[in-house]
Amino acid sequence: MTSDRRAILYGLGAVGLWSTVATAFKVALGYMSPLTLMWIASLVSWVVIGGLVWRRGQFPEALRHGWRTAAWAGLMNPVAYYLVLFAAYDRLPGQEAMALNYTWALTMAFLAVPILGQRLTRMDVLAGLIAYSGVWVIATRGRVLDVDFADPLGVGLALVSTLIWALYWLLNTRDRRSPLVAQWQNFSVGVPVLTLILLMGPEVEWVGATGLAAGIYVGLFEMGIAFVFWQLAMRTVSRTARISNLIFLSPPISLVLLFFIVGEPILPSTLLGLVLILGGLGLQQRQKAPVEPADARS
């Protein structure tokens, strides 16, 4: 099997797991608060990724270096990002929260202008207008001329999660830590913070066997194994473009799972909004990188 075929299989594995998380979030949140889900999932992910770091012999590196970066990165991801994201899923139908969260790539493109000094192209602007018109369709549930959102706080939380996620990746452009080490260190910072917040709350809730299983699933697959699969795909593939479009398979699969497992009726406004969001993302990805001068490549 060629390296590109292996990369595609790894990528499909990651996308397949990511396609289940909207359903897993909604099932888990039926048994517990966003904070409790966050704590269980983070603890599971910390243990799983720690085991992978140990197996690869990277523990000495993880213990010695990178903690200054982890101090702020861990507060952004997992703490801030997932708490806000789970709060959005707790308020919105899974299909809406999932679709709105997919705008993070466009958010990152716009934030790269002030943070990294990059320039927006006309295609970036057009892609943004198309995608965020999809956000408006979803937020108003098809009543595009009515500014009375169905759940303005839920929509706001979903969009704030994209802002945190985009900022996290932009600020990590200068992060020299290896991906697995960085992920484990971030969770090493996040888990104690989440534990403290949980203990300061009114009470620690018992979520039952089903709720516990759902929380473990989120931590094991959404934050753990899917990340490893995608990392393997990125390292194995000859060109990133060969696997980057696989992510577009996730939303339709997510909608089907939400319909059959959670029982969410698929709203026409979600379908239209998702088409607009994915169309905008597709336009953005179709842009060709500028060709380097011949002497620069030699």
Report whether 290 contacts 263 (CB < 8 A): no
Q: Is 106 exposed, middle or buried (0-12, 13-18, 19+ CB in 10 A)?
A: buried
Confidence band for 79, pLDDT divided at 50, 70 and 90: very high
Angle (nearest 5°) at CA 141 between 90 and 149: 70
Domain-embedded: residue 75: yes
Asked, for residue 217, whether it belongs to a domain, the answer is yes
Q: What is the count of structural domains for the chain?
A: 1
Whether 141 maps to a domain, the answer reads yes
Domain hosting residue 205, numbered range: 3-286
- What pTM did the predictor assign? 0.82
Per the structure block, which two tokens stand in for 290?
């500028």
Locate all alpha helices (DSSP H) within 172-267, ordered by sequence.
179-200, 208-217, 226-236, 241-244, 250-257
Q: What is the pLDDT of residue 184?
A: 94
Residue 33 domain-assigned (yes or no): yes
295 within a domain of the structure (yes/no)? no
Task: Examine the pLDDT at 291 and tell me if it is beyond 60.
Answer: no
Among 11, 46, 61, CA closest to 183? 46
- State the Cα–Cα distance between residues 107 and 27, nearest whole angstrom: 28
Mean pLDDT of all residues in 151-159: 90
Question: Considering the domain boundaries, does residue 275 fall inside one?
Answer: yes
Cα 119 from Cα 163, distance rounded (Å): 19
Domain annotation covers residue 133: yes
Could you tell me if residue 19 is inside a domain? yes
pLDDT greater at residue 272 or residue 224: 272
C-alpha torsion 79→248→250→37, nearest 10: 10
Confidence band of 294 (pLDDT split at 50, 70, 90): very low
Whole-angstrom distance, CA of residue 9 vs CA of residue 113: 34
- Residue 297's pLDDT is 34
Reduce the DSSP state of residue 69 to 3 states and report it.
Answer: helix
289: left (phi over 0), alpha (psi -120 to 50) or beta: beta
206 or 280, higher pLDDT: 280
